[in-house]
Structure 1
Amino acid sequence: MGSEHDRPLGQFVGDGTALQPSTETKLRGRFATVVGMSPDHIESLYSHTSGDENAHLWDYMLHGPFKDLAEFRAVMEAQMQSPNMVTYAIISNDQPTTPSGADNIVGCASYMNINTANRCVEVGSVMFSPKLQRTPAATEAMYLMAKHVFEDLGYRRYEWKCNTLNASSQRAARRLGFTFEGFFRQHMIIKGRNRDTAWFAMLDGDWPGIKNAFDRWLDPSNFDENGLQRKKL
């Protein structure tokens, strides 16, 4: 009969904490720039995500669609003030912009459920307007945020969660290098409806291989004279 000292224990990872994300951060790539969301950015984002033609964008989000700018602004400002959420605006680099980029905010994403002690953070509240969807800028924005998490802030685990009915979000997670980990049944109630949640994650040990795949895909040689990819990510 083994003693209590024979029981298996987890791998030792040492002390230390990850750093808190900041809205002062600016991440610039070839196609996209990611900056801390400010009140000046809200109207531009609303112009790209509002209207009946864009109502479907909000099907799986916590809020929306919105009846007017004031309602959208109230939700966004509350999100920006959340103590456990840091929201970023996504700027497409291929459009003329003001210095702040406020006239060309085509999407947003947040670090959320930030746990610096356990070095775990989630990317969520991802909103890509039609101008951003299926573009190199969309992929690069997610690359820049993942790189920042692992290489600058020192996290061990980066999560992606979505409604199990949101097939496009699940495809995006897998394409971006996240590993599917399972379903949480009856996890949330969103807009009065049940949400089962699909969980994905990438780990710091996964990152070097994922980063290499991103770097190859984002290399200028992977795009033809029309800006179309030669090889898929």
Structure 2
Amino acid sequence: MAPSAPTHADLAGPLAGRLVSLEPLSAAHVEGLLDAARDGELFTWFPLDLARSGDVLGRWVGDAIAAAQQGREVPFAILDAGSREPLGSTRFLELRLEHLRAEIGWTWVARRAWGTGVNVEAKLLLLARAFERAGLRRVEFKTDAQNARSRGALEALGAQFEGVFRKHMVVRGGTARDSAYYSVIDDDWPTVRARLVERLERAR
């Protein structure tokens, strides 16, 4: 008998860690996220520059909220666990829950949070939600094939490289983007979880 499919609600809701909290993305986060977005050149590889203006970021947040209301995505604000200051954003998207899979993407964190364990803990919280609560079998990640930093982070996570989709997306300026795909499956999760926990311990 096929397993019953999880629902959008199984992926939704706040998540709390030692360094960060993930809250459902809302308009109340826009001002703080704009401050975080302006902390360095973060959006070279994004389809749009979220640091350009509050209007651009506000529309992006509004689109994410609409996608959540339609059950298509599960967007979060990444907050400092102590100060509650917004540090970035991430989400579940490309939900194919009937096939027990989803993607984690649209992830960015303020430059000042790089190397602090913030992104590591956010990934740990999301993957635990996906595999341990929602019962997914596969979580995907994609990035620009030329984005060496993002690809390195995914490989350090323990995600498996699966190949490149050539001319996969049209990005800023009409340029064709090749996308590198990675995944973590349920069989990988115990090893990936242990690796992330170890990295968080080193970040103390």
The answer, yes or no, to whether TM exceeds 0.5 is yes
- What is the alpha-carbon distance in structure 1 between the residues aligned to residue 199 and residue 9 of structure 2? 26
Query: Which residue number in structure 2 is paired with residue 216 of structure 1?
Result: 198
2:35 to 47, 50, 61: 47
SS in 1 for 2:33: helix
Q: CA deviation at 1:22?
A: 6.4
Contact kept in structure 1, 2:90 and 2:108, CA below 8 Å: yes
Q: CA deviation at 1:35?
A: 1.1
Give the alignment's Cα RMSD to 1 decimal: 1.8
Q: Does residue 142 of the first structure (1) align with residue 123 of the second (2)?
A: yes
State the AA in 2 paired with 1:213. Answer: R
Query: Could you say if the C-alpha distance between residues 65 and 212 of structure 1 is closer, same or farther in structure 2, counting changes exceeding 3 Å?
Result: closer
Query: Which residue number in structure 2 is paired with residue 6 of structure 1?
Result: none
Q: CA deviation at 1:24?
A: 5.4
- What is the alpha-carbon distance in structure 1 between the residues aligned to residue 10 and residue 109 of structure 2? 21
Query: Which residue number in structure 2 is paired with residue 72 of structure 1?
Result: 57
SS in 2 for 1:180: strand
| 1:138-217 to 2 correspondences below 5 Å | 138-191=119-172, 192-217=174-199
Query: Which residue number in structure 2 is paired with residue 5 of structure 1?
Result: none
What number of residue pairs does the alignment pair up? 200
**What's the TM-score, normalizing by structure 2?**
0.91
Q: CA deviation at 1:170?
A: 0.3
SS in 2 for 1:91: strand
SS in 1 for 2:112: coil
Query: Could you say if the C-alpha distance between residues 211 and 18 of structure 1 is closer, same or farther in structure 2, counting changes exceeding 3 Å?
Result: same
- What is the alpha-carbon distance in structure 2 between the residues aligned to residue 185 and residue 20 of structure 1? 30
**What's the TM-score, normalizing by structure 1?**
0.80
1:106 to 79, 87, 94: 87
- What is the alpha-carbon distance in structure 2 between the residues aligned to residue 67 and residue 215 of structure 1? 35
> Percent identical across equivalent pairs?
23
Q: CA deviation at 1:93?
A: 2.2
Q: CA deviation at 1:63?
A: 1.4
Contact kept in structure 1, 2:164 and 2:180, CA below 8 Å: yes
Query: Could you say if the C-alpha distance between residues 163 and 129 of structure 1 is closer, same or farther in structure 2, counting changes exceeding 3 Å?
Result: same
- What is the alpha-carbon distance in structure 1 between the residues aligned to residue 48 and residue 74 of structure 2? 17
Q: Does residue 18 of the first structure (1) align with residue 3 of the second (2)?
A: no
Contact kept in structure 1, 2:11 and 2:130, CA below 8 Å: no
Structure 2: runs of 5+ lacking an equivalent: none
- What is the alpha-carbon distance in structure 1 between the residues aligned to residue 155 and residue 2 of structure 2? 30
- What is the alpha-carbon distance in structure 1 between the residues aligned to residue 13 and residue 33 of structure 2? 19
- What is the alpha-carbon distance in structure 2 between the residues aligned to residue 19 and residue 197 of structure 1? 28
State the AA in 2 paired with 1:166. Answer: N
- What is the alpha-carbon distance in structure 2 between the residues aligned to residue 217 and residue 128 of structure 1? 17
- What is the alpha-carbon distance in structure 1 between the residues aligned to residue 9 and residue 140 of structure 2? 15
1:2-40 Cα shifts (integer Å, max 9, x gaps):
xxxxxxxxxxx8332123156851111111111111110
Q: Does residue 37 of the first structure (1) align with residue 25 of the second (2)?
A: yes
Structure 1 stretches of 4+ with a deviation exceeding 4 A read: 21-24
Structure 1: runs of 5+ lacking an equivalent: 1-12, 228-233
Q: CA deviation at 1:80?
A: 1.9
- What is the alpha-carbon distance in structure 2 between the residues aligned to residue 42 and residue 21 of structure 1? 23
Query: Could you say if the C-alpha distance between residues 202 and 67 of structure 1 is closer, same or farther in structure 2, counting changes exceeding 3 Å?
Result: closer
- Largest Rg, 1 or 2: 1
Higher relative CO (CA 8 A, sep ≥ 6), structure 1 or 2? Answer: 2
State the AA in 1 paired with 2:6. Answer: A
State the AA in 2 paired with 1:108. Answer: S
- What is the alpha-carbon distance in structure 1 between the residues aligned to residue 129 and residue 12 of structure 2? 13
